Amino acid sequence: MRVKNLSGFGGILRRPRRLLRMTNCLNLLTLNFQLSTAPVKIGILAVQGDYEAHARMLERLDADYVLVRTPEDAAQVDAMILPGGESTTMLKFLKEEGLEASLRALDARGASFFGTCAGAILLAREVRAPAQDSLGFADLTITRNAYGRQLASEVRSAPSKLKAEPLEMVFIRAPWIDEVGPGVEVLACEGGRPVLVRDGRILIATFHPELTSDTTVHEYFLKLAAAASAANPDESGPTPHPPHVSNDSPESRSSSPARTAAQSSPIPRH
């Protein structure tokens, strides 16, 4: 259901540092979706925000999960969900409670991350309006609260790569993805802008799939997490990205030179 037309916002992204310029996101979309799956334990950052909605979604999928509030919790998991909420509050907690180091260690192990709304902001390489620190695991630039105040929140639907039917999307003070790196795959667009993207083992949604009845996005993440876990069975060893997803075959994406350079480190790590 579309309750507000955002066509006036436009869909052209800037292109500094070889970032991808996209004039028509829908040209990038296909409907192929197949990744291997295996049992993994998913962590849900349970500091603030709608983490309980993610937990209910995982329960529907019979997925093993733990609510993460301490570094000890984070050490138990194979992948992590960063939910919607208030990104500055969440980031402050991560720093003060030692969880930021735990998440960076999890990333260094090659684990998958899924960020929704505020979680997407935490994972982005660069945050604007205003600028703030982030974990920086995903090669994209994001603008906070770009869709307006909470009263302007709305439900929409749009096509995606994940299934033939449109995805229902709940936007609540949602950010915009302004720029994406050359290796970032767009999985869904709405209003000419990417709203669901994947950078290797990192999944980003500017909307809230956990607030709908559709399990599609979470199913995709579970398969992505399983692929990353299978690619990194030895946590003390090298941590490459899992096999990349392509428009023709989600398991056999060929890497361009630009993506190969970003594969082991999608952003500069300091």
pLDDT tens digits, residue range 71-120?
A: 999 999 999 999 998 888 999 999 999 999 999 999 999 999 999 999 99
Q: Which of 255, 233, 234, 235 is nearest to 243 (CA)?
A: 255
Judge whether residue 151 has pLDDT over 60: no
Place of tokens 């409907």: 31
Q: Catalytic: 208?
A: yes
Please name every residue paired with 205 in a beta bridge, in sequence order, or none if there are none.
Answer: 116, 196
Residue 163 has pLDDT above 60, yes or no: yes
The Cα-based distances of 70 to 84, 86, 115 in angstroms read: 18, 18, 18
pLDDT tens-digit profile of 212-236?
A: 999 999 999 999 999 999 988 755 3
Q: What is the pLDDT of residue 154?
A: 84
From 117, 168, 179, 189, the catalytic residue: 117
Residue 195 has what pLDDT?
96
What is the pLDDT at residue 173? 85
DSSP states of 17-66 as a string? GGPBP-S-GGGG------------EEEEE-SSSSHHHHHHHHHHTT-EEE
pLDDT, tens digit, 9 for 90 and up, residues 25-56 = 544 444 344 455 568 999 999 998 899 999 99
C-beta separation of 31 from 67 below 8 A:
no
Of the candidates 235, 228, 221, the one whose C-alpha atom is nearest the C-alpha of residue 83 is 221
* pTM recorded for the entire structure: 0.75
Whether the pLDDT of residue 200 is over 50: the answer is: yes
Task: Establish how many alpha carbons lie within 13 A of residue 41's alpha carbon, considering only the half-sphere containing its beta carbon.
Answer: 10
Q: Which of 210, 219, 241, 244 is catalytic?
A: 210
Residue with tokens 């692929």: 227
* Mean of per-residue pLDDT scores for the chain: 77
Q: In order of start, what are the domains of the chain with their CATH numbers?
A: 7-263 (3.40.50.880)
Task: Give pLDDT, residue 174.
Answer: 86
Asked if residue 20 has pLDDT above 60, the reply is no
Q: pLDDT tens digits, residue range 238-265?
A: 333 333 333 333 332 233 333 322 232 3
Catalytic residue among 54, 208, 218, 244: 208
pLDDT over 50 (residue 7) = no
Query: Which segment, 178-182, 201-205, 266-270, is predicted with the most confidence on average?
Result: 201-205
Angstrom distance (rounded) from CA 171 to CA 148:
10
